[in-house]
Structure 1
């Protein structure tokens, strides 16, 4: 397998709790997620107690786990899922370790879409945004989309020329149950997905209350403007250079 050169950990444009995100040098419409050195599979396994520490390393590898979840979503939900989540293109070898390639969610101007958390913090509960949220909540439940709790920083708001277009969940996918029966029971999946999606408005209100009372934003989910420019020569870069 040919190794993809990412150019070092400092080239990541975003960071999550377990992974770093890079622009795929082969295609600026895709990103490559690699494990943070301090969150590698062997370090995570070493922190586990017996007998969990006997599991193979892949069970502590977030990229391997996410690819597996995508395979299950394809079987359980099908192509309709990709209205609500990025597409996944599999694992690749990189100079920063194994990476998972997924679709880059961008706005109409070529910039990386902002998280729902950042949009709420900056704009509040604008009517146009809330309409998209309502559509998402309904569709997420109808499809029975597998996820852990839906966190505001794991959801991005894709913008069209006319404003918010759709919400896309970029992390936290897959049922967290020890025995995930919902993958095989659509009725159970819809019930679980509906419950998780319906908590979003409450999470938004809690974030706005933090802002109102002068509390800190938190750690995850913020992109500065320069981080949103996905590649030199893109429409976003051209507009910024003018």
Structure 2
């Protein structure tokens, strides 16, 4: 892992982020168009600390830092012990770089031939559920089963759609890696890992169907049907 303070400064002040989440800004690396720099928003860590229950407020900053949590999530068993198949649907991490906006986590930047790949939510809004997307979704779900990468809820805005020149689509999960439960399913055995992953897949498919169907009905009610996995 790169040290946060040992490198030359990367200037981001004049650049606009190409994407923004609740906690982070995403920039194209000024020296490498195939790398992304994720910056935690100024003041966000303290904001999350103040929102947390009183008994959690004494936790260190890293407990409220999405970059640190993403790094921790990449330490899971499936990623540490995995092979090249991992990177078919998951960006590589390259550690921290020092920037003018603070430490930035560097990862692969998923691109099409004509620019940065858009997220699944926007793709569905524009195109609906196409045959190419249905096939890409099947391939992504099979990859989850094969690699056993643990994820949280796979929300469409956290999944990118890479469009190849031959018309093929490829999905990449860019956020939400990790486990939603207090107990890692790996500690409980393969049966529980399988059930956990299938629950994430079922919820993702339900969310995609909801998005493609015009968001009819309340998502929270639909989501409740997929909460239990143990």
The normalised TM-score by structure 2 is 0.83
Aligned length, in residue pairs: 211
Match status 1:66 vs 2:70: yes
Please report how far the alpha carbon of residue 194 of structure 1 lies from its aligned counterpart in structure 2 after TM superposition: 2.2
Alpha carbons 2:19, 2:27 under 8 Å: kept: yes
Please report how far the alpha carbon of residue 26 of structure 1 lies from its aligned counterpart in structure 2 after TM superposition: 2.1
Partner of 2:103: 98
- Partner of 1:172, secondary structure, is coil
Please report how far the alpha carbon of residue 15 of structure 1 lies from its aligned counterpart in structure 2 after TM superposition: 0.3
Partner of 1:140: 144
More strand, by proportion = 2
Provide the C-alpha distance between the structure 1 equivalents of 2:194 and 2:11, rounded to a whole number of angstroms.
39
Please report how far the alpha carbon of residue 158 of structure 1 lies from its aligned counterpart in structure 2 after TM superposition: 0.9
The normalised TM-score by structure 1 is 0.79
Q: Sort the Cα spacing of 1:209 and 1:110 in 2 relative to 1 into closer, same or farther, 3 A.
A: closer
Alpha carbons 1:137, 1:198 under 8 Å: kept: no
| 1:201-216 mapped onto 2 (5 Å cutoff) | 201-210=205-214
Provide the C-alpha distance between the structure 2 equivalents of 1:169 and 1:21, rounded to a whole number of angstroms.
15
Alpha carbons 1:77, 1:145 under 8 Å: kept: no
Please report how far the alpha carbon of residue 90 of structure 1 lies from its aligned counterpart in structure 2 after TM superposition: 0.6
- Partner of 1:167, secondary structure, is strand
Match status 1:125 vs 2:129: yes
Please, what is the CA RMSD of the aligned residues?
Answer: 2.2
- Segments of 5+ residues of structure 2 without an aligned counterpart are 1-5, 218-230
Please report how far the alpha carbon of residue 42 of structure 1 lies from its aligned counterpart in structure 2 after TM superposition: 2.8
| 1:40-51 mapped onto 2 (5 Å cutoff) | 41-51=45-55
Q: Sort the Cα spacing of 1:89 and 1:110 in 2 relative to 1 into closer, same or farther, 3 A.
A: farther
Match status 1:7 vs 2:12: yes
Match status 1:162 vs 2:166: yes
Query: Paired residue for 1:176, among 173, 180, 183?
Result: 180
- Segments of 5+ residues of structure 1 without an aligned counterpart are 214-242
